[in-house]
Structure 1
């Protein structure tokens, strides 16, 4: 059974919060909140945390989430809105994602099973799922909070991250995907690898977020419905060809992301001064063929002095973005090539069909 109730908390449990009064919806923070028969306490898959949920008034975008855990205070109260913005009242910092999908019957049971699988994944390059809520029609996922935000903000912000930082982030993402594909108890295909779904901890280590959500969001879809998940610019060609979806879609997306990390720019830049540079995957392959890889990192002194690694990263990326998915490497092979454990063979043209059309 994927969801069990915390045995030490009664249904009449009071959630005590800090005493300075704040009004949120129709509930005053600083008063007590009772869990009744319609709002059972529930625990995380790991058993480390227990949660309580309370809807505020008729506005479904406002709710209270209570969290009990072992390490810091006994009781913590957080309220968030439907956009996932949280206000921490005291104690543990968390991030909350609200799923806008309804599941019933068999799909509801599968939802709990899948969330349980996600909750049991433990890897230093994954964002940890602390728990989930399935109170009535509410579907909430509670994650650990990471202070340095997304890779997108870090990579495409005003200051260029160092070459060493970018290479370490690439290694971390590769290892996290390898774990999801081959090392956790149930294989997980992410389906939406992009800079916005990579978070950075206090030491700027890469942590993959939102893994496992693709299957959760498709539980209410027909199995014959080829609903495309992912983000434009990172989506593998097989999504559009009614082909079976495998871990190779993540490999493709990682290849695009690896080029972004290498060049410190977005995969699509329609405002580029040169049309040939607008699509990063095309430009990178052209530079590789013409042996002008220095152009990809022309404003990066550290990368300019490490062109051997730049070439290795670009070669691996080209293998990852092969249109023919059978040519794409596994994430284990990708990790070995990135780390220099094995030699990277010369990659073929990633889009042979387009080039011969």
Structure 2
């Protein structure tokens, strides 16, 4: 039987052979223009190091490592600014160069925007088949490695040390640092935590999941071993603590048939994936297991929007969280489901809410009913015992109320922005208040032909100054009705109080004649020009 010293020598020689084969020599460069045809590949070609064009723009790139033999070219690492954890974005013409000092990324103007500079001189670099890009000194010792600076993903044979973090990307296509982070808590046990971030800062809100380490132990690292197992290794005789949850099952994995990775996804779920190595098999990443079981209800913080953005609600579908907007709301960014929702209508107190006008609020607003949805931390008033109709009427006559929840003779009124929205069974009825139409559609804005018979704030402009506005353009004066409408729309748009200004959608409806244009109040004093 071979001695331990012999095995050690053989392993060192094998490592040196692997590092030398296919290494990247000093003075080697990659640019954003030639990268696609010539990235730095691992020995088997399974991983590549180079530039990837950002999907959100055509002239910016990121320095990355990706799976090179699968159709998705899944990115597992990208260069980040060590000061703020933000993605390093390289413009067209940027270059990465390997020198004795390490790696340097420069723009086309020669400005350095990222470096990897170890304390020892570098002899060469190597993209390993493990997915780890390393810099090696003259003694074949690794002096820098990408595995020590993970972004959102861990690979087999990679460990996360106590000072390390995983930070999700912002969205499915946006690799900027996002809203969730995995880290070791600074306590006696060094629990592994998952927390939302106060994006775009790195401030952590209360954790929504943790791997509990026994009181007698403390974490030393989060390990993703070569067999595909993930666990916290402790300082108590190598005790291993695995994640727990109904969706994190004990499985027998086969690294010979599948690639594995574990990623803190952009929606905050810590997920292990598998992908067949055989190119003839059905391609694509498959969910193996994940924590927490239901992130929609796991996050419950007074600060922040929750899993989804503000004014939306979260539900689990096909093992993934999805975000929906309630009726009367739409996505702020149509390309980012988790970015929150905005109102499709003006929602304010005062004149725009019919105050002081002869109008019924029932004609201004309607309620859409949802079931088993809640925004539990957006309450500002609770009333009981109360009936459903009383609850709806209370919200209708309260200009601050956007949603009312009714359940078991209790009414909760909620104001904007709505946070921590989730699908949650409990029998509650959700009364979503939406605007039916602007005041003009209720007859409060007479037709243009009768406007001049009204003694209101806009009449002096329409009567005495209109010819000056069009410089006696007879063609314009012949279509006086349309001209008056345009002027009134313009006056609405320059109202001193922003809440009184119409939305662009409403302006377009006014211009197209879909809705009538009500007489605007004077935005300023017109006595000087009357």
TM-score range, shorter chain: under 0.3
The structure with the larger Rg is 2
Instruction: Determine which structure has greater relative contact order: mean sequence separation of CA pairs < 8 Å that are 6+ residues apart, divided by chain length.
Output: 1
TM-score, normalised to structure 1's length? 0.27
Higher strand share: 2
Give the helix-richer structure, 1 or 2: 1
TM-score, reference length from structure 2: 0.20
